Amino acid sequence: MTDLSMANAAAHAPLDIEAIRRDFPILAQQVNGKPLVYLDNGASAQKPQAVLDAMDRYYREQHSNVHRGAHTLGDRATSAFEGAREAVRGFLNAASTREIVWTRGTTEAINLVANGLTGRLSKGDEILISHMEHHANIVPWQMLAERTGASLKVIPVTQSGELDLDSFQSLLSEQTKVLSITHVSNVLGTVNPVAELIAQAKAKGAITVVDGAQAVPHYQPDVQALGCDFYAFSAHKMFGPTGIGVLYGREAVLDTLPPYQYGGEMIERVTFEKTTWNTLPYKFEAGTPAIAEAVGLGAAIGYLNSLDRKALEAAENRLLALANGLVDSVPGMAVIGTAANKVPVMSFKIDGLHPSDIGTLLDQQGIAIRTGHHCAMPLMDFYGVPGTARASFAFYNTEEEVEQLFAALRKIQRLFV
Amino acid sequence: MTATEQQFRDNPLGKDVTLDDVFDAFEFLDDWEERYAYIIDLGKQLPPFPDDERVEENYVHGCQSQVWLIHHQDDSDGKLYLMIDSDAMIVRGLAAIILVALNGKTPRDLLTTDIDELFERLDLFRHISPTRGNGLRAMISKIRDIAAEQAA
């Protein structure tokens, strides 16, 4: 069967979650004497065998430095590495691989853009972000504002955890030079109407940046349809390796940014008097890149393409609906983030219990969740909580696991009375 | 109101509740629920922490939960008394165990007490390991710094 016909076969087969779970070796283990229930996918997702194999094979059979070209291994490494870039281009539906820059992750991607805009902003200019951003999409802009005299404007969120679109309209102006917004909130799970925001910001001449870190584990974004100038994400949240991420930059805008770091690979010609830069995307890739990790990300995309993502999305939505229906079974439990359009992420609090206590006692029962401020302190302040407990589901989670989570929460609550 | 000398001395942890009590209790508790119920219960025995001591200089930085720590040294015998608070119940309970082990000791005795070994014996070491961001590791370091300063 060709790859394509396999993908089609998969698309028509009913979803077999147990078979999918077997693709993720780490899930078949016990933690504290209980079967692992991994519900911390928003922090980092687990890796399928296809990713592990691709990285192993790369080091066993293909590894050398890339783009140095004088020998066979160098060719193999370069071809695997650039093949991964093409896989990312396809995943995002970018126009060209020149628009795909490897970074260490979403954080570095946003920093690259914010740094590159230093010479372009000045006093009176505005950078527009939202109240639900991760620190990685706040602090780089705060620092850019400090460097340039521009000011940072913040789109408020509503109690349910949606962007206040009326406020967005009034905050957006000719002064807005940058709109940087998260596609999906890491705390609330809210899916923002980014295409609409981008279109309006572009009409005012703003550069548009999307933090896609929490979107890519659930959706395949189409950057041309979104119309954004930049889209950033990390491989490790979409079942790929840690240490690598992607900055998509629309070529016409990306090429106007100065280099971010200087060194090997990113240059065209160096003399002691003057250095000229390599072409896109290499201009932004100083030093030897994370080659095996890029290959691993390529394999993760291949793996996702082999699955019926629409069916997975439906399965994830069922998990979230089941969880929502069980909230009332835990007295004093309240969900933070109740937007109509959500990925399967559930932040919650329980009266009288600190998130850290919830996390510790769930761990005793083999259940992994995230607790704390989720690198979104302004959002914690908005909701008046020190932190939340967050269960974040992936397509390999089962309905039984959701039920186990709630049974465990009820058990914990009994310890405190 | 600031903590009085009496409040420091009246702390039952390390006085009425001893390490032997904790070990005895742990021996009889055979599942995690009973153990944690006991830890939570110990945390409830922490004396109330004075509100006006909840200030930056008494704050121990941890990612997950907030921890406060104040100390008092007895002028006559040089013994160190500690008061601890946290907003998380498990952290309070684990802090109570630390107080049982360290409260009312001379700085020298305190510095020779092996807290890691104690927590390993109780099978609770992972809670104070450097990989947990709950502030307990930082709190233990701070107590040891105070003791080292007073012992010098």
Instruction: List, for residues A226-264, the tens digit of each pLDDT value.
Output: 999 999 999 999 999 999 999 999 999 999 999 999 998
Q: Do A141 and A245 share a structural domain?
A: yes
Look at residue A404 in the predicted model and tell me its pLDDT.
98
Residues 6+ apart with CB under 8 A from A353: A332, A412, A413, A416, B89
CA–CA separation, A345 and B51 (whole Å): 36
**Known catalytic residue at B63:** yes
Q: Do A360 and B90 touch (CB under 8 A)?
A: yes
Q: Which of B20, B28, B63, B75 is catalytic?
A: B63
CA B145 to chain A, closest CA, distance in angstroms equals: 26
Pure H helices in A64-132: 72-92, 106-116
Question: pLDDT over 70 for what percent of chain A?
Answer: 97
Residues of B in Cβ contact (< 8 Å) with A372: 63-64, 133
Closest Cβ opposite residue B64 in set A353, A372, A411? A372
Residue A45 in domain = no
Closest alpha carbon within chain A to B87: A354
Look at residue B5 in the predicted model and tell me its pLDDT.
84
Mean of per-residue pLDDT scores for chain A: 95
Residue A7 pLDDT greater than 50, yes or no: no
Q: Do A111 and A202 share a structural domain?
A: yes
Closest alpha carbon within chain B to A408: B33
Residue A43 in domain = no
Reported as type and span, the H/E element at residue A333 is strand A333-336
Closest Cβ opposite residue A415 in set B33, B88, B133? B33
Q: Nearest Cα to A392, choosing from A37, A132, A41, A17? A: A41
Structural domain containing residue A24: 3-31+308-416
Residues of A in Cβ contact (< 8 Å) with B32: 32, 364-365
Cis previous bond, A378, omega within 30: no
DSSP A62: I
Pure H helices in B46-135: 89-102, 107-112, 115-121, 125-128
Place of tokens 């992750």: A105
Closest Cβ opposite residue A356 in set B33, B40, B134? B134
Q: How far is CA A406 from CA A161, A342, B32, in A?
A: 23, 20, 18
Amino acid at A298: G
DSSP B93: H
Final residue belonging to a domain, choices A305, A330, A365: A305
> Which range (A72-81, A325-334, B86-95, B133-142) has the least confidence?
B133-142
Compute the half-sphere exposure of residue A175: CA atoms within 13 Å on the CB side of its CA: 16
Quick count: other Cβ atoms within 10 Å of Cβ A124?
10
Residue A271 pLDDT greater than 60, yes or no: yes
CATH class of domain segment(s) B5-151 = alpha beta
Place of tokens 């509100």: B51
Residues of B in Cβ contact (< 8 Å) with A365: 32
* Tokens (6 digits) for A170: 């009034």
Measure the N-to-C terminal CA separation of chain B; round to a whole number of Å: 30
Closest alpha carbon within chain B to A375: B63
Look at residue B135 in the predicted model and tell me its pLDDT.
78
Question: For the segment A168-219, what is each residue's pLDDT rounded down to a tens digit?
Answer: 999 999 999 999 999 999 999 999 999 999 999 999 999 999 999 999 999 9
Q: Domain containing A86 — which CATH number?
A: 3.40.640.10
Q: Domain containing A356 — which CATH number?
A: 3.90.1150.10
Q: Do A177 and A73 share a structural domain?
A: yes
Question: For the segment B7-38, what is each residue's pLDDT rounded down to a tens digit?
Answer: 888 888 988 999 999 999 998 988 899 999 99
Interchain CB contact of B91 with A (< 8 Å): yes
Closest alpha carbon within chain A to B64: A372
Closest alpha carbon within chain A to B123: A32
Q: Which residues of A touch B (CB under 8 A)?
A: 32, 353-357, 359-361, 364-365, 371-373, 386-387, 411, 415-416
Look at residue B63 in the predicted model and tell me its pLDDT.
60
Q: Do A256 and A178 share a structural domain?
A: yes
CA–CA separation, A14 and A65 (whole Å): 42
Contact A236, A215 (CB under 8 A): no
Sign of CA dihedral A56, A61, A63, A66: negative
Residue A214 in domain = yes
Q: Do A397 and A260 share a structural domain?
A: no
Final residue belonging to a domain, choices A258, A276, A305: A305
Residues of A in Cβ contact (< 8 Å) with B30: none
Evaluate whether ipTM surpasses 0.85: yes
Residue A48 in domain = no
Structural domain count of chain A:
2
Q: Do A246 and A185 share a structural domain?
A: yes
Measure the N-to-C terminal CA separation of chain A; round to a whole number of Å: 60
Mutation choice for B interface testing from A356, A373, A415 by most B CBs within 10 A: A356
Q: Do A205 and A342 share a structural domain?
A: no
Q: Do A82 and A26 share a structural domain?
A: no
Question: For the segment A127-170, what is each residue's pLDDT rounded down to a tens digit?
Answer: 999 999 999 999 999 999 999 999 999 999 999 999 999 999 99
Long-range contacts of A225-232 (CB under 8 A, 24+ apart): A225/A93, A225/A195, A226/A194, A226/A195, A226/A198, A227/A195, A227/A198, A227/A199, A227/A202, A228/A194, A228/A198, A229/A253, A229/A254, A230/A109, A230/A113, A230/A254, A231/A92, A232/A103, A232/A106, A232/A109, A232/A110, A232/A113
Q: Do A271 and A377 share a structural domain?
A: no
How many interface pairs between A and B have CB atoms less than 8 angstroms apart? 44
The confidence band for B132, taking pLDDT boundaries of 50, 70 and 90, is confident
**Edge-to-edge strand list for the sheet holding B59-60:** B59-60, B67-73, B80-86
Q: Where are the domains of chain B?
A: 5-151
Residue A42 in domain = no
* Tokens (6 digits) for B152: 């010098």
Look at residue A3 in the predicted model and tell me its pLDDT.
47
- Predicted structure pTM score: 0.93
Residue A383 in domain = yes
Q: Do A416 and B40 touch (CB under 8 A)?
A: yes
